[in-house]
Amino acid sequence: MHCGPSSYENHLQALFKVRQTGSLLDFQLDFERLCNRVVGFSLESISDCFLFGLCFDTQKELAILLPTSISQAIGLARLIDAKLQD
């Protein structure tokens, strides 16, 4: 008997584990894909997961700015990332 992959995936657990290992855009897309599958998680917790998943340099600068929403955190992370790329 062959069993295929489980139809159950713990998206919340995956959201806690997602980390920026490449570009910010790739991380953002992975993060948003997982976020859209998580139900009942507070917006503050989602913002925290996003912040802690960023590369250290971006994370450090973004933490100082204290974004008040996930959209603000993403926008500020893009600005910081662009600055760090220069």
pLDDT digits (tens, 9 = 90+) for 59-68: 999 999 999 9
Q: Are the CB atoms for 51 and 73 separated by under 8 Å?
A: yes
Q: DSSP state, 54? A: S
pTM tops 0.75:
yes
In this predicted model, what pLDDT tens digit does every residue of 38-53 receive, in sequence order?
888 899 999 999 999 9
pLDDT score of 28: 97
* The one-letter amino acid at 29: L
pLDDT grade, residue 6 (50/70/90)? Answer: very low
In this predicted structure, what is the pLDDT of residue 7?
45
